[in-house]
């Protein structure tokens, strides 16, 4: 994994998200990043 993907992984982990990579059908790569809509901080401050 290159530095760029390592940085992305750290950012996604910090937001309790998900990142994946797969081979594209015609070559290249497909990256999927999912981040939650709300954070734990927003939920805690509302309580």
Kindly calculate the radius of gyration of the chain based on its CA atoms and give it in whole angstroms: 14
Contact status, residue 14 vs residue 8, Cβ threshold 8 Å: no
Report yes or no: 22 and 33 within 8 Å, Cβ to Cβ: no
**Residue in 20, 26, 25 with CA at minimum distance from that of residue 5:** 20
What does the domain layout of the chain look like in residue ranges?
3-46
For residue range 1-47, list pLDDT tens digits in order: 568 888 999 999 999 999 999 999 999 999 999 998 875 666 666 65
pLDDT at position 39, please?
57
The pLDDT value recorded for residue 37 is 85
Q: Look at residue 5 in the predicted model and tell me its pLDDT.
A: 85
pLDDT (0 to 100) of residue 12: 94
């Amino acid at each position: 994994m290159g530095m760029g993907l390592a940085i992305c992984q750290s950012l996604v982990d910090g937001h309790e998200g998900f990142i994946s990579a797969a081979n594209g059908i015609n070559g290249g790569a497909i990256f999927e990043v999912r981040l939650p809509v709300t954070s734990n901080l927003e939920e805690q401050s509302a309580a």
